[in-house]
Amino acid sequence: MTNYISGISILGIPAEMYTYGTQFWMIIVSEGFVSLAMAYAYLPVFYKLQITSSYEYLNQRFNQTVRLLGSILFLTKMLLYIPIVIYVPALAFSQVTGINLHLVTPVVCIVCIFYTTLGGLKAVVWTDTVQTIIMFGALIIVLFMGTSSAGGFSEVWSRNLAGGRIDFFNFDWDPTIRHSFWTVTIGNFFSWMASCSINQAMVQRCLAMPSLHSARVTAAILVVGIMVLVSMCCYIGLVIYAYYYKCDPVTRGAIHKSDQLLPYFVMQIAQTMPGLPGLFVSGVFSAALSSMSTGLNSMTGVIFEDLIKPRIKKPLSESQASFLMKVIVVIIGSICVGLVFVVEKMGAALIQASGSLSAITAGPLLGIFSLGMFCPQANPQGALAGGLISGSLITWISIGTQMKMAQGLIRFPQKPVSVEGCNANWVAEYLSLTLVPDSTPKPVEPAFILYRVSYMYYCGLGAVTAFTVGLLVSYLTGSNKNKKIHRDLISPVVYRFIDDGASCQVNGTNDVCKKIELDTIT
């Protein structure tokens, strides 16, 4: 839970509710379906193979080149994601204490790198346990105190209803709508599938469980916990709007970005409860540190198993391997610190920025793994072509969209805010500064259609593209003619479409996937 609910969620989701309304809350609808698909379609394959890196599967199912592509895509994803995770608690801490953000960032990383380096997965799991308790405690206290400060639940709901924030069921199929019921449910299904079912961080944890049943129970607990945490973050966003419904702090300049709303709100209500700012910052740091430590740990495993180990002729001793992995943690942690300065310059909201960047690699990876598990006829040429074309497509769309947003050519309609309750002197000063001659907006040409597609669809678009291109190229290159695929490499949900449940048809022939011993499988 702490891995997938990062500081991005704790700060970004309330800001999303405040700025755009509650439609994003509907992401919880698709999470139950993701849990089922993960538990019965993907997880059994990894559990049978008992592999250290989930990308070893790509080597066993396809070849070393496809495995290398998968590993590089994963490492790219984490290098894009972890800097945002670091930036978030530093932003909150800076807001609460006034300490420069760039002084906080290295400290956060040093602490995380320290215990991840020394303790490995065990340290990550136990610190996650403590951090989960702190995170829940901070959110619950902020939730109840905020509701009380805003006048109670009924007042929170009525003010949000009057402010147009309550919007759960926009069934418009237009894919360019940033958040509709379909974009958040369908889009989140693919995003969560990529994050849970094939992600090294999740596979690593599930394979640490004593049985497949225990791993499935863990997946169910994850979904319930995520639904509760997401709902708490969403409701806190409604509480913040109810508190500031007559005086928007972003408009009046008290804060610079909507992502600072929650820390600012906590400081406002903390006057009646000493220690609350510290508890809140601890909660945000807990969520961020757990995500970062998990990312560093899983990246180290992938780099060692997929990039270094296959290229070392003489096997390393346990102590040598341990030392090498500790060095890797320090190096990638330092790189992530440097990338925080890039994240700071991004203009998009945290939720959209993280979703857009992670989709660049998450979608292609989901497509490649699904191709291997569900299509016995898929071959290495198809998987490689699908992954490269899909990754290039989503990179082009994501970067193009960010550029158009920076140029002001793509704007998303925000919910109305009010400043009528602010100090009258401040309003007069604000108007004198902002009302300038010739301020009429000039008409601009709409951006290219793919740039206007909701970022929630990026991951699904990447997965479908990789899957479709992979199947097409596999067919054009002869599929797996005269080659048998080990049964354990295929998802159990495909067995019913196979001749006798213990064999599988390849390329429309009568070749079967018998339990033959392959060099890569023991």
Residue with more model confidence, 520 or 414: 414
**pLDDT one-digit tens code per residue, 85-102:** 777 777 767 766 777 777
Place of tokens 């479908």: 464
**Vertex 2: Cα angle to 370 and 280 (nearest 5):** 145
The token duo for 450 is: 């793919």
Residue with more model confidence, 230 or 506: 230
CA 175 to chain centre: 21
**pLDDT one-digit tens code per residue, 265-295:** 888 887 777 777 777 777 777 777 777 777 7
Query: Which domains are seen in the chain, by residue range?
Result: 7-344 (1.20.1730.10), 480-522 (no CATH)
- Check: CB of residue 178 under 8 Å from CB of residue 168: no
**pLDDT one-digit tens code per residue, 115-133:** 777 776 677 777 777 777 8
Least confident of 63-77, 152-166, 245-259: 245-259
**What is residue 486's predicted lDDT score, i.e. its pLDDT?**
82
Interacting residues of 463 by C-beta distance below 8 A, sequence separation 6+? 190, 193, 194, 363, 364, 366, 367, 370, 390
Tally of CB atoms within 10 A around 331:
13
User: Is the entire prediction scored with pTM above 0.85?
Assistant: no
User: pLDDT grade, residue 384 (50/70/90)?
Assistant: very high
Place of tokens 């290098």: 79
What is the DSSP secondary structure assignment for residue 315, as one 8-state letter? P
Report the candidate in 209, 219, 183 with the shortest Cα–Cα distance to residue 34.
Answer: 219
What is the DSSP secondary structure assignment for residue 486, as one 8-state letter? -
**Vertex 492: Cα angle to 491 and 495 (nearest 5):** 105
**What is residue 354's predicted lDDT score, i.e. its pLDDT?**
67
Residue 269, phi then psi, degrees to nearest 5: -90, -10
